[in-house]
Amino acid sequence: MKEKIFYPNYNNSILALSSSILKKYGILPLHSSLPELDKILQKYKNIVLIIFDGMGKNILEHHLKEDSFLRRHKKSTLSSIYPPTTAAATNSIHSGKAPIEHGWLGWMQYFKEYDEIIELFTNKAFYSQKPLDIPSVSQRFLSYKDIYTQITEKNKDIHFERIFPDWYPGGVKSVQEMRERIVSTLKTHEKNIILGYWTDPDSSIHHNGCFTPLINNIMKNINTEMEQLSKEIDEETLVLITADHGIIDIELVWINEFDGIKECLKHAPTMELRTTSFFVKEDKKEEFKKLFNQYFKEDFLLFTHEEFIESGLLGSGNKHDKVEDFVGDFVAVGFGKKGLSYYDENNPNVETFKKYMTSFTSDHAGISKEEIEVPLIIFSKEKNK
């Protein structure tokens, strides 16, 4: 079992990458940076940071040949944070804070203020998938000043450009469009920090698997577009490419179909399929622990609330006010291949919900090496030969 468990290394992580970017612009980061990257960053006027969601080391190396552009320019392997999932990881990059500090711990969290389990990005009730007529919980409870605002406030001559998919205002429809926007921005402004983010390969892997022909084509396209970018930037621009987390193929199981589990719970579980927070009735805690380990000890570590908070998995720093609320009485941390899901039998759309969740053939947020390890790819202008 122990050989399957791979703890994050915050000193060599995507959070440390964020710290290096802050240091480049004269801002003291909250966490340690990457010393070698610190030296490289000082040589360039323009910095481009691109995050390809779910492009873990395992995905990169499986789908692209060793002599491909991205693999040739892979400088090192970084650790994601914990849990290695988009909500926690991208917000660590954007905030320069560890999850324990910014409070984004998973896709959906329990908010006692509304007695509801809410998706942080969409503000929908997770289990019913209904939009909630309440202010954005992420803006109300989990907002922060991102590193790009900090940089441009201190460095008035720096232009910041955010290039996201088209669900974001002014977003792009393809990696090609992202590349074109990057090049256009570099030509328009003298000094730039540019953030690019793309939802693939993660978005497609979730419902198609890690190692399918579709993902191979997506990775080859990313590789082609980034190689072209290297020919279009100038000598004063450095491009950093990484991922928020890796991803693995999983087997989904419904925990409320295991005898005794549902009767122990106060309400449905929260966070993620592979880092799952359980709120347990006071008189059922010992029973829950016994049953959970009976059913799932080959795939999950089970932490008590206190053990999880004190484990260091969420990193270090000043604990966000909502962390104690979000972490239940127990947290299951996945190291095997299973993902834990749950359905509400009273939900009139339960069959639609079950069908949707069953479509997840791959996921992340666990503590396996494949989920934690991500590449750091660095390049500047590629000369035509």
- 236 three-state secondary structure: coil
- What's 265's DSSP letter? B
pLDDT at 31 over 80: yes
Share of the chain above pLDDT 90, in %: 95
Mean pLDDT, rounded, for 266-290: 98
Closest-CA residue to 63 (of 224, 171, 177, 196): 224
Tokens of 50: 């691109």
Retrieve residue 353's tokens: 């919900």
Give the Cβ contact number of residue 139 at 10 Å. 9
Task: Residue 231: name the closest of 292, 183, 181 by CA.
Answer: 183
- Are 330 and 303 spatial neighbours (Cβ–Cβ below 8 Å)? yes
- The rounded mean pLDDT for the chain is 96
pLDDT at 21: 98
DSSP H or E stretch at residue 161: strand 159-163
Q: Which helix or strand (DSSP H or E) is residue 71 part of?
A: helix 69-72
Alpha-carbon distance 110 to 305, whole Å? 15
Whether pLDDT at 227 is above 80: yes
- pLDDT > 60? residue 167: yes
Q: What pTM value is reported for the model?
A: 0.96
* Ramachandran assignment for 212, one of left (phi > 0), alpha (psi -120 to 50 degrees), beta (any other): beta
Closest of 316, 309, 275 to residue 15, by C-alpha:
316
For the segment 91-98, the average pLDDT, to the nearest whole number, is: 98
pLDDT confidence tier of residue 63, bands split at 50, 70 and 90: very high
User: Would the pLDDT of 360 be above 70?
Assistant: yes
pLDDT computed for residue 1 by the predictor: 55
State both tokens at 262. Answer: 């549902």
Render pLDDT for 312-350 as a digit per residue (tens, 0 to 9): 999 999 999 999 999 999 999 999 999 999 998 888 889
Residues near 146 by Cβ (< 8 Å), separated by ≥ 6?
94, 95
Report the C-alpha gap between 159 and 155 in whole angstroms.
Answer: 9
Domains observed in the chain: 2-101+142-248+370-379 (3.40.720.10), 251-360 (3.30.1360)
Among 4-8, 14-18, 367-371, the least confident range: 4-8
Note the pLDDT tens digit of each residue in 237-258.
999 999 999 999 999 999 999 9
Cα(150)–Cα(27) distance, integer angstroms: 8
Check whether 2 has a pLDDT greater than 90: no
Residue 232 scores a pLDDT above 80: yes
- Contact criterion met (CB below 8 Å) for 41 and 376: no
Cβ burial, residue 54 (10 Å; 0-12/13-18/19+): buried
CB 88 within 8 A of CB 105: yes
What is the model's pLDDT at position 346?
82
pLDDT of 385 > 50? The answer is no
- For the residues 122-129, what does the mean pLDDT come to? 94
Whether 344 and 207 have beta carbons less than 8 Å apart is answered as: no
DSSP label at 118?
E
